[in-house]
Structure 1
């Protein structure tokens, strides 16, 4: 079909579909991403557990998440411009070094007993600033790593999303909960090491990932941002995806910001049990990432995106009504499935359909909306939990996602996807 990004199937085995078959530098990019995601997975369990030991107030706990997401509102656009001006590889490994230093400092504070809610907020805010630079650069660098081949872009995203859900969602959280039970500081030291290893691997990439400087010339920051925003706004599919993804993240953060309290207070789980509940969603996510290309072949990318939203919405409602932890785990598996299919396809469409010299700025605008929405989702989750109980956050999140599926059926159509991805690429820049 015309909207399937060449009906790419995800990699299943080494060789033809293996890492090195995609591009010489892709193993380094994948390795750096994977080891860093492992550290993130460890911290994703350890940080809310640490916050919960400092306060049992849902609003206070969710505020740690809110502050950690604010830099996406403040710095996503400048970070996108940087990704279109600088050597993207250099921006990535320097960002990793900054994050390593900040995380190590937090680990020392935790080890010495001087970490409080305020410190968690400050460090989380600073790390997220570096995140904005890394994310814009890494998203923009991928198409060039795989020679701008749409099929390879989707296969590469399947590898990356699969890794995210293996190490960040499956391996990392239980390990983080276990390490936190042993020593509160160890998970954060581990995260710092992961950033260092990622930096080393990124520096081993041999390709030239500069962007031609004459594409921006001497234009100012405001004009550079305006060009990225204007181009994105004129693409109906990418504009719809950006708006949907923003509300999708509001729904996701409404749940995740209070999920540690949900696990503890509703099901009586400890640190390790909470980490396992986080991890089970990766089973669905791994399947979704591996089968995204096949679903596109059967239904087309547009329909796959809508199905992903429906599955994610149903997952929220299953978790909301869960009478026991096993049903909640099933809800998490469905949530992982929907999120993975959505992420593989929306990232691949954006990377395939955006000219290289605009990709950093377009990513910055996309992240401003999608990641910038996260603090509002986290705050919404905390308020709903305080006013109506912990389950209400999941009910509202499910309603939002199902409404988004209806909206997507009108805005993300086969014809529009085909128009976005059709060659020649320069015809899309008008």
Structure 2
């Protein structure tokens, strides 16, 4: 990752990066605090995982119309308005905690409403990046490397331990911090000076339904992007099968408290940072297609390590491996999608992609909760490992060097 190449030549990228980073810090704080709060309200794996399930449902319901809107609206404005909505909702959750009216249904409602705003923000954010960095494929990969490194550092490394500490001090503090992060993010986004409207004639007078259909049709005709979207959905299903009950695994199997759990979440950042810094070199050595397959196999191996871990140290090693492999997968699949999609379709393609990929999360969370209830907490990690190894085999036949070359050269 060479900072000057993407920071100095794209004036709005530092603001986009800063907004993303501070918002992700709040997400990292909540990623530890929310399951800890849920675990204080119930020790049932199915109930705790259900909080995750409901929080992911909006991706099934709203990802497609949010993608169409990202191709109609000013994408910058859509992002900062979504940030303001998320700030208000998260502050409301903090108030519920302070006034002691919080419950599992309240957590579900808050997560559901925040995720609706997430669909708008994410579709606009993914669509705006190529224009921010002038659409060059190498710059897109560099920008995504920096964004993933930032996600790793603040959301996975700094945020969770901070969330655990804040939660120990006061159950409401993590959610106050998350609300403030959304406000600061909105200010950075407001400061971006570029024009991020889409030309009004690209969608013409077609309806939302027609716009969605056009996005589906275009994506289906792209073999690599179609395969990546399907694999991402199953990738997230496998990951959420394990992650949805991870807090209970840490507490009941590894014997960790709130701060120990947040540290276990954080150690995966070391692997992810290394993966983000080396993805360009790995791609030059093996090519993007092989890098994607290796990252899937590596994630499967990581889940297997956690599944058999006798203590927190071995589980931490598995988390580091998972962070490394997931960073390589995410940077490459995002960069291919953004570089290979025409600008006027980016919002809708992101919407379709998120429908499938994020839509797999509630299914995975429910699957993990049921599996843990029936067979024990380790079973969810074994299942995740099997799914990821299977995806690595599938990618061997669907994400090939020749198909990747056609996608990149054709756009």
Q: Normalising TM by the smaller chain, what interval?
A: over 0.9
Alpha-carbon contact 1:22-1:152 (below 8 Å) kept: no
Task: Write the distance in 2 (CA, Å) between the matches of 1:215 and 1:412.
Answer: 30
Q: CA separation in 2, counterparts of 1:205 and 1:313?
A: 39
Q: Is the 8 A contact 1:148 1:352 kept in 2?
A: yes
1:91 aligns with 2:78: yes
Across the aligned residues of Structure 1 and Structure 2, the Cα RMSD in angstroms comes to 0.7
Instruction: Write the deviation string for residues 306-363 of structure 1: whole angstroms up to 9, x where unpaired.
Output: 0000100000000000011100000000000110000000000000000000010000
Aligned partners of 2:335 and 2:345: how far apart in 1?
Answer: 15
Residue 44, structure 1, aligned to residue 31, structure 2: yes
Instruction: Find the aligned partners of 1:116 and 1:318 in 2 and give their Cα distance.
Output: 34
* TM-score normalised to structure 2 length: 0.99
The CA deviation at 1:112 is: 1.2
Correspondence list, 1:336-355, <5 A = 336-355=323-342
Instruction: Determine the C-alpha separation between the residues in 2 that align with 1:398 and 1:238.
Output: 23
1:62-141 alignment, distance < 5 Å: 62-141=49-128
Q: Does 1:189 align with 2:176?
A: yes
Q: Who is 2:240 aligned against?
A: 253
Aligned-residue offset at 1:22? 4.2
Give the C-alpha shift of residue 138 in structure 1. 0.1
Unpaired stretches in structure 1, ≥5 consecutive residues: 1-9, 426-430
- Distance in 1, Cα, partners of 2:37 & 2:312: 22
Superposed displacement of residue 20, structure 1: 2.4
- How many residues are aligned here? 411
Give the TM-score of the pair, scaled to structure 1: 0.95
How far did 1:200 drift? 0.4
1:7 — aligned with what? none
Q: Write the distance in 2 (CA, Å) between the matches of 1:217 and 1:195.
A: 33
Please show how residues 190-205 of structure 1 align to structure 2 within 5 Å.
190-205=177-192
Contact 1:319 1:394 in 2 (8 A): yes
Work out the CA distance in 1 between the residues paired with 2:52 and 2:58: 11
Aligned to 2:309: 322
CA contact (8 A) 1:42 1:173 kept: yes
2:211 equivalent among 210, 218, 224: 224
The whole-number CA distance in structure 2 between the counterparts of 1:325 and 1:271 is: 13
Q: Deviations over 1:359-380 (max 9, x none)?
A: 1000000000000110000001
